[in-house]
Amino acid sequence: MVDFRIKKYIEVINALKSKQFQLDIPIGKEDEIGELGKALIELREILKYFEENSQLALITDKINAGFTLDEVLNYVFDSFQFIIPYDRIGFALIQEDGQVVRARWGRSKSLAMKIEVGYFASLAGSSLQKIIETGQPRIINDLEAYLSTHPQSDSTRKIVEEGMRSSLTCPVIARGKPIGFMFFSSMKSNAYKDVHIDTFLRIAGEFSIIVEKSKLYQELADLNQLKNKFIGIVAHDLRSPIAIIKGYIGLFLGNLLGDISDKQREFLTNIDRVCENMLNLINDLLDISAIESGKLELDMKEVDLADYLRDYYDSNNLLAKAKSIEFQLDLDNNLPKIVFDPQRINQVITNLVINAIKFSYPESVITLRAKVVDDEVQISVQDKGQGIPEDQISKLFQEFSDVRSKGTAGEKSTGLGLAIVKRIVSAHNGRVWVESKVNAGSTFTFSLPIKRI
């Protein structure tokens, strides 16, 4: 009699593949099958966390048209001097629950900056507090005279030592809340004597939006890096529970724990196949994590492309035979030696070939081609399968893309393969694109430059 938990575990695994995380997972007895249940519970929670963090990555992508805070401030320094006078700009944030003003960024035409990033001062009781209270810029047209009457002002002393003789300090306010200050300083006295305060308020108002957006972008980028680090760590750890599941399944299938019925063997074989799919997902997650965190390392070598593709064909032409699909090779006669990472490009081609098999019908043909076009080599995988609807093509190279096309034999995808393909090809300074027509097939092509990378 089949243990009811095995049926439940298969139901849970299929639910996890569809990103459903609400099903209960019974443990029952503390036996081998109960251990499978514990591993599935751990897997469910981790995959749920992955899904939540993937949404953070999508948010980051939507804000990637912005700049980091440093980029914005450097742009201000390089560009605003045509609007207002300055030889120095500093930017400070209000931190520690409004108790401290800390220098976040600064640039100066002086040879030596005296107020560097990290410099801080108390806000309470300072002249900066008055700026926050009034919301108005403060102008000092003679810093040396101001220092003589305010000798306790360490920041004034430092910028005077830099050679500054006048300053304008403007509050930066976002969503009605002060978040910091911009300090404009000039080596000339009275540089701000005739300026209009409204101009600085308008600039600060516009700049506060950019700063807030930049801060958000930077925070999301930091979270994305943390997410990638977390995924890398957890994906490695995920291998343990999956290995446990596959190990127990192997014991059952090998009759090492006693005889099992044909029905039990069928259930266990299905679980083993799903576990294998999960291992593929883990490997894809590790690749995405490495690529996004900038840790994708390429082992660049000079390779005879024709020999490389023939070897690939000879080693992989059996991939299509299981589905009764013919795999063909079509190479230009003049393919050159080029520089690339053989292992990573193998990963690219394999992803494209497996996709072509997945979406092709039995008795059809898949062709791996390579040709020289101008100063690059173009390698393509063409199939005669079901094709891709035009409105779905733009989603193909995005992580976890939900494309409506399904495998002709019911095969499913992690939604990461083509995203990995694009990242690897881009790392080689190449391009990747697709041409497709519904019911006529698809051709995925990527390029590699002939010149050394």
- How do residues 345-374 score in pLDDT, each as one tens digit? 988 898 898 888 888 888 889 999 999 998
Q: Rounded CA gap, 124 and 314, in Å?
A: 75
Instruction: Tell me the average pLDDT across 20-31.
Output: 78
Q: Which residue has the higher pLDDT, 107 or 222?
A: 107
* Residue that is last in its domain, among 260, 275, 292: 292
Q: What is the mean pLDDT of the chain?
A: 80
Q: Are residues 236 and 309 in the same domain?
A: no
Range of the domain at 150: 85-194
Does any domain span residue 73? no
Token readout for 423 is 């990242």
59 — pLDDT class (breaks 50, 70, 90):
very low
Residues 228 and 119 in one domain: no
Is 325 in contact with 357 (CB distance < 8 Å)?
yes
As a whole number of angstroms, the distance between CA 400 and CA 423 comes to 14
Are residue 308 and residue 445 in the same domain, yes or no? yes
Amino acid 206: pLDDT: 64
Residue 31 has what pLDDT?
85
Pick the closest to residue 138 from 117, 155, 122, 116 (CA basis): 155
**At CB < 8 A and 24+ separation, what contacts does 13-22 make?**
13/40, 13/271, 13/274, 14/274, 16/43, 16/44, 16/47, 17/274, 17/277, 17/412, 19/47, 19/51, 21/47, 21/48, 21/51
Counting residues of the chain whose pLDDT is more than 70, the rounded percentage is: 77
Summarize pLDDT for 295-317 with one digit per residue, the tens: 677 889 999 999 999 998 988 77
What integer is the mean pLDDT of 331-354? 89
429 and 362 assigned to the same domain = yes
* Residue 204 domain flag: no
Going by C-beta distance under 8 Å and a sequence separation of 6 or more, which residues neighbour residue 298? 340, 341, 344, 427, 428
Same domain, 246 and 340: no
Same domain, 386 and 423: yes
Position 9 in a domain: yes
**pLDDT at residue number 21:** 63
Q: Is residue 150 part of a domain?
A: yes
Number of domains in the chain: 3
Query: Looking at per-residue confidence, does 177 or 225 come out higher?
Result: 177
234 class by beta-carbon count within 10 Å (0-12 exposed, 13-18 middle, 19+ buried): middle
The DSSP letter of residue 258 is B
Residues 233, 160 share a domain: no
Give the Cα-Cα-Cα angle 185, 186, 188 (nearest 5 degrees): 150
Q: Residue 243 pLDDT > 90, yes or no?
A: no
pLDDT of residue 13: 85
pTM: 0.44
CA pair distance 179, 94, nearest whole angstrom = 6
Q: Is residue 55 part of a domain?
A: yes
Q: What CATH number does residue 94 fall under?
A: 3.30.450.40
On whether both 306 and 276 belong to a single domain, the answer is no
Q: Indicate the angle between helix axes 32-62 and 4-17, nearest 10 degrees.
A: 10
Q: For the residues 239-244, what does the mean pLDDT come to?
A: 72
213 is a domain residue:
no
Q: Would you say 405 and 389 are in contact if contact means Cβ atoms under 8 Å apart?
A: yes
Is the model more confident about 338 or about 25? 338
Contact 72, 214 (CB under 8 A): yes
> Parallel, antiparallel, or unpaired for β 138-140 and 166-174?
antiparallel
Domain at 310, CATH number: 3.30.565.10
Q: Could you give the residue ranges of the DSSP H alpha helices within 80-196?
A: 127-134, 143-149, 154-162
Higher per-residue pLDDT: 388 or 228: 388
End residue of a domain, out of 292, 324, 341? 292
Asked whether residue 437 falls in the same domain as residue 305, the answer is yes
Q: From edge to edge, which strands make up the β-sheet containing 365-373?
A: 326-331, 365-373, 376-383, 441-449, 432-437
Q: Packing angle between helix 4-17 and helix 262-292, nearest 10 degrees?
A: 30
pLDDT of residue 132 exceeding 80: yes
User: Cα separation of 414 and 177, whole Å?
Assistant: 44
CA dihedral over 129, 132, 133, 137, signed as positive or negative: positive
pLDDT score recorded for residue 53: 54
Question: Is a pLDDT exceeding 90 seen at residue 340?
Answer: yes
pLDDT confidence of residue 64? 45
Across the range 14-24, mean pLDDT stands at 75
Cβ–Cβ < 8 Å for 88, 168: no
In this structure, the answer to whether residues 90 and 58 fall within a common structural domain is: no
User: What is the structure's pLDDT at 56?
Assistant: 38
Q: Are residues 275 and 307 located together in one domain of the fold? A: no
What is the pLDDT averaged over residues 269-288? Answer: 71
Q: Is residue 172 included in any domain, yes or no?
A: yes
- Band (pLDDT 50/70/90 cuts) for residue 256 is confident
Cβ atoms within 10 Å, residue 94: 20
DSSP structure class, residue 20: -
pLDDT band at 150 (very low <50, low <70, confident <90, very high): very high
C-alpha distances in Å from residue 148, one per residue of 120, 145, 157, 324 = 22, 5, 10, 90
Give the pLDDT band of residue 453 (cuts 50, 70, 90): very low
Same domain flag for 115 and 182: yes
